Amino acid sequence: MIKSEVVNEGLECPKCSYFIKGRFLPQHRCPKCGEPLLTRVRIGFVEGLQSVTTLCDRPSTYLSLGEGSTPLIRCFNTYIKLEHLNPTGSFKDRGASLAVALARELGYELVIEDSSGNAGLSVATYASAHGIRARVYVPSDIPEGKYGMLVSVGAEVIKAGTRDEAHDAAIKDRDGYYVGHVTNPYFIEGMKDIALEVIKQLSRVPRNIVVPVASGTLILGLWKGFNELLSKSLIKSLPKLIAVQASGYATLSKLVNEVIEVGNTGSNSRYADALRLTKAPRIRQVSEAVNASGGKLVIVGDDEGVKALKELWSNGLLVEPTSAFTYAATKALVTKNEVRPQETVTILTGSGLKYVSVVRKLLRSNN
């Protein structure tokens, strides 16, 4: 197979276009305007879609634990991409594998992250595989199960108050490389292959792609991937980005052109734990991508989220509660004739096997 030639030229500010040669800035932000940076890659010779094996050049230290190349299945008359089947049970592995390899290439022996969930486990797992240490700042009320997983992969876990306080503590820690998925450009870079995989698996570009948005790495990575393929004329159209957020945490609601609410969105979500982020430095970038694609935001209430969770589990898709909110959005859009199911791909991001006790409680509820 002929590999495409992809060169990482440097980091670029998507707001003021400031460009920095090379691949590394510890704070991940534009020195001029403060916006979180993106990688700028140059795609050289490409023979065709099938010859593209990866969109990003990987650090020499890159180490695979089997991330990526997840299944796309047809279910409920629509298409579902099973990102929860990644090695640590979430899509974060695509980003963590790149970001931690880069830290290693740069000689760091400690990576720092703030997260209580999927990103923390992913970063800690890759760090361990690389033989370097991981320090993960978590909220003090982290559930025992999540705590146990982080400890089991050898992470140093620091309980640091609220979720926001955990974030603040992590960015102030100068002992190592702050991997920080919320701003790190390589987390986004790592997501790009999902776009490529979906196109190969469907043999076409889907008309709609339904994606959960918290920090925005997944949706921005997809958008970057589709646009780079378009720029090389490997595809002829772009999908509409359907962003999904949970009630009470709809940081996109004032920024995107079209918003749909599903279910009871009057109170703050209790169950979409991976979507409960109020500080998202890239949210402006996300809104621009959604608007440019002609897409929209769907805000989902806990009632519809839990209903969707029951439907997914009873159909054999063992995802975490947060992922059910994404599917709830797809269901609602299909019902409203806003999208055709067979033209739509929904991305399920996290495994429910890590959170069975939580899932079980919700499945039993009358919600």
**Is the Cβ–Cβ distance between 184 and 96 less than 8 Å?**
no
Residue 77, class by beta-carbon neighbours within 10 Å (0-12 exposed, 13-18 middle, 19+ buried)? exposed
Contact string (CB under 8 A) for a copy of itself, positions 44-63, x = contact? --------------------
**Token pair 């634990």 in the structure block, residue:** 65
Among 4, 8, 39, 70, binds a copy of itself (CB under 8 A): 70
Shortest CB 89 distance to a copy of itself, Å: 5
One-character DSSP codes across 342-366: GGEEEEE-BBSGGGHHHHHHHHHS-
Among 87, 143, 161, 281, binds a copy of itself (CB under 8 A): 87
Give the angle subtended at the CA of 87 by the CAs of 193 and 319, to the nearest 5°. Answer: 90
Asked whether position 293 contacts a copy of itself by CB under 8 A, the answer is no
User: Rg of the chain's alpha carbons, rounded to an integer?
Assistant: 19
Closest to 170 measured CA to CA, from 129, 205, 136, 133: 136
Asked whether position 152 contacts a copy of itself by CB under 8 A, the answer is yes
Asked whether position 66 contacts a copy of itself by CB under 8 A, the answer is yes
Shortest CB 333 distance to a copy of itself, Å: 23
Asked whether position 86 contacts a copy of itself by CB under 8 A, the answer is yes
Helix (H) or strand (E) holding 96, with range, is helix 92-105
Shortest CB 135 distance to a copy of itself, Å: 16
Asked whether position 315 contacts a copy of itself by CB under 8 A, the answer is yes
DSSP 295: -
Among 73, 110, 158, 283, binds a copy of itself (CB under 8 A): 73
Asked whether position 2 contacts a copy of itself by CB under 8 A, the answer is no
Structure-token pair, residue 273: 């734990």
Asked whether position 274 contacts a copy of itself by CB under 8 A, the answer is no
Contacts of residue 203, Cβ cutoff 8 Å, sequence gap at least 6: none
Which residues contact a copy of itself by CB under 8 A?
64-66, 69-71, 73-74, 82, 85-89, 125-126, 128-129, 145, 148-149, 151-154, 313-318, 351-354, 356-357, 359-360, 363
